[in-house]
Amino acid sequence: MPGFLLILIMLLSSGVFDVTAAVAGPSGESRATSPGSRSAILRAANNVVDRASVSEVSPDLIRKAIQEHLESEWGRKVKTVHVTVLEPADPVTIPGGTVELHILPSPTEEGLGRRVFHVEAVANGKPRKTIPVVADVAAMIDAVVATRFLKADEVIESGDLKTVEVKVHQINHPFITDQDEVIGKSASRPLPPDIPLRPAFVKLPVVIKKGDRVLIEARRGGLSIRAYGVTKSSGQIGQTVMVANLDSGRELRARVIAPNLVQVEF
């Protein structure tokens, strides 16, 4: 008997016999499986786990990610950004569970119109896939317009202005979006209502006109001399005009300080 046990142990260790494991069959009967079968079962189970952790990224999620990125990038240059994703048209499958979308930087600066974005899908802190995206990008601003017809050189007040939403075709648009940049200035040309204003459409108002009687002030240190004069030309605040002193008749070059006030140096 001891000799028989020794022979059996030697046969088992040499791999002559294939050791099997019993598993339950469909009807509950015992069924043997080999080590190769158990490996196949394990691989199938792993595939089920992988499929369970797959996420789908819809075109709308991609659109929102691009829109938020552009709004952050362009700051106060525009009011709103509109993105229409053309490709991909169907959801994109991403392995790895919950997905975050990052917009990769472009080597060249691009603006509005049709653009190509590269969107990186990150799951569990690891990049999983880079999605090429074709999208149309548009932007809106609140442009300042006149509420009524303004004549050339007419001083503009707050009641003369309002803002309207306007679609722009470039980020560095030429329109004024802040009413404070216009209030107190004058129209440099006739301005019809509801036309988006540009910086060239307004100018500092003319506060002194040719022939106005003005106060001429000359200062040096604590010494101040004043006289009255008549302007020979019109001017805005900060501009230089010619003024004739009424007492001496002498013409002086003076800087416009305020309505009816000019200043000379001596």
Please check whether residue 162 is in contact with residue 214, taking contact to mean a CB–CB distance below 8 angstroms.
Answer: no
Q: For the segment 171-197, what is each residue's pLDDT rounded down to a tens digit?
A: 889 999 999 999 999 999 999 999 999
Q: What is the pTM of this model?
A: 0.60
Q: What is the DSSP letter of 19?
A: -
For 24-38, how does the pLDDT look when each residue is reduced to its tens digit (9 = 90+)? Answer: 444 444 444 444 444
Domain range list for the chain: 56-139, 142-203, 206-265
pLDDT at 69 over 90: yes
> For position 235, what pLDDT does the model report?
87
The CATH number of domain 206-265, selected from 2.30.30.760, 3.40.50.300, 3.60.9.10, 3.80.10.10: 2.30.30.760
CA distance 125 to 96: 10
Q: What is the largest CA-CA distance in the chain?
A: 147
Residues across the chain: 266
160 phi, psi to nearest 5 deg? -85, 0
CA distances from 77 to 80, 121, 171, 181 (A): 9, 28, 7, 15
What is the DSSP pairing of strand 223-231 with strand 240-245? antiparallel
Q: Which CATH class is domain 142-203?
A: alpha beta
Can you tell me the distance from the alpha carbon of 172 to that of 198, in angstroms, rounded to the nearest whole number?
12
Cα gap 186→154, rounded to integer Å: 5
Whether residue 35 is preceded by a cis peptide bond, meaning omega within 30 degrees of 0, is: no
Torsion of the alpha carbons at 203, 179, 83 and 74, rounded to the nearest 10:
70
Structure-model confidence comparison of residues 5 and 136, the more confident one = 136
Query: For the residues of 221-241, what is the DSSP string, one character each?
Result: TTEEEEEEEEESS-EETT-EE
**Residue type for 89, please?**
A
